[in-house]
Amino acid sequence: MSDSRILFGFHAVLSRLRQHAASVQEILIDKDRVDARMKDLINLAEGASVRLMQVERSRLDGMAGANGRHQGVIARVVDTPIPYKDIHDILESDLTEPPFFLVLDGVEDPHNLGACLRVADAMGVHAVIAPKDRAAGLNATVRKVACGAAETIPFIAVTNLARTLRELQEAGVFVVGAAADAPGNLFTTKLAGPLALVLGAEGAGLRRLTAETCDTLVSIPMFGSVESLNVSVASGICLYEARRQRNAI
């Protein structure tokens, strides 16, 4: 079943054109924007035979909503969902390396979720897992911030996060939670095998049950005066260290 939606902003629209132009129904552009970036997008769309419409900026403003910074470009697309429904689909697929997951425990800010998807894609994560309730889902803002990663990396929303973590453990995946007060150290913890890195929500961190379910908890060594990091920044650090270790084998 396909899902019709809009994408806004140059990164999201250009990424979709390059990766899956056939899914783009039409692109609406600000008729008064004629800079080089817009010309490049127009050329790419015309080369892919995608319908282009020049419209008033006010129409784009209305489509994007109050918080949508569309940059003068909006695309109507039809999504074919990534063919993964749960973690077992990933675990049973033909992976070329040990399973590698990012788990987000209740991240509610769509900008943070989009940034997490982007860094997860860059570090070769096989899927991002998050709870269905009290957490951000895939919306237009997330897709824009993700700069195309929302279309390439599986995002699996689960009903019970603790149960999902236990299922990963039963499959031999080492579940590592990040917590500021954890006794373990990110840089001295083995992260090269089957792995799920679990990060908590903005400010609150991991929920108690989530933390208790993890195999171990680690902290990110800090060398400055700040005491905490944005969840997307913390995800980037943790995922990069895991990728460094995996590539060193």
Cα 162 to Cα 177: distance, rounded to the nearest angstrom: 12
CA distances (Å), origin 75, targets 9, 79, 145, 185: 9, 12, 15, 44
Nearest to 214 by CA among 193, 229, 199, 236: 199
Measured CA to CA, the distance from residue 245 to residue 12 in angstroms comes to 31
- Could you tell me the pTM of the whole model? 0.73
Return the DSSP state at 201.
B
| Cα–Cα separations (whole angstroms), residue 9 to 32, 68, 211 | 16, 9, 37
| CATH 3.40.1280.10 location in the chain | 87-248
State the binding site. 200, 220, 229
CA distance 199 to 235: 7
pLDDT at residue number 84: 54
So what's the pLDDT on residue 18?
Answer: 81
User: Do residues 175 and 196 touch, judged by C-beta distance below 8 A?
Assistant: yes
* Run of H or E residues at 245: helix 231-248
Q: Where in the chain is the domain with CATH 3.30.1330.30?
A: 3-79
Per-residue confidence of the chain (249 residues) as pLDDT tens digits? 445 688 888 888 887 888 778 888 999 999 999 899 899 999 999 999 999 999 999 999 888 876 667 889 999 888 655 555 688 888 888 888 999 999 999 899 999 999 999 999 999 999 999 999 888 888 878 888 887 788 788 999 999 999 999 999 999 999 999 998 898 999 999 999 999 999 998 777 899 999 999 999 999 998 888 777 899 999 999 999 999 999 886
Specify whether the CB–CB gap between 23 and 12 falls below 8 A.
no
Q: What is the CATH number of domain 87-248?
A: 3.40.1280.10
* Structure-token match 């995922």, residue found: 239
CATH T-level assignment (fold) for domain 3-79: 60s Ribosomal Protein L30; Chain: A; (3.30.1330)
DSSP labels, 54-70: EE-HHHHHHHH-TT---
As annotated, the binding site for S-adenosyl-L-methionine includes: 200, 220, 229
